[in-house]
Amino acid sequence: MEIESGAECLLDGKTKVVVIRPLNRSKTVFSVQLPEKGIDTVDRSRLTPLAAAEVSATPQSVPGLALK
């Protein structure tokens, strides 16, 4: 999944950040807005798109779990 400018992501699976822009052509390094801490530069591997993180946390994604 490609990360776009303005996308909300989880940094290291914990902190919600907003992607400002990619810093290289291959889109492997991004400038992100951290809550109350300013702007930081992070590697793509540290970012999880928030939509993907929410989907993976739903009960339907757990094999063998039945919903009532």
- The encoded tokens of residue 37 equal 């801490």
pLDDT of residue 67: 53
Q: What are the Cα distances from residue 64, in Å, to 55, 58, 60, 67?
A: 17, 13, 9, 10
> Tens digit of pLDDT for each residue in 31-64?
999 998 899 999 999 999 987 666 555 555 545 5
Give the three-state DSSP class for 60.
helix
Q: How far apart are CA 68 and CA 13, in angstroms?
A: 29
pLDDT at 65 over 70: no
- pTM, two decimal places: 0.72
pLDDT of residue 56: 58
pLDDT of residue 2: 87
Length of the chain: 68
| Average pLDDT over all residues of the chain | 84
Q: Which domains does the chain have, with CATH numbers?
A: 8-58 (2.30.30)
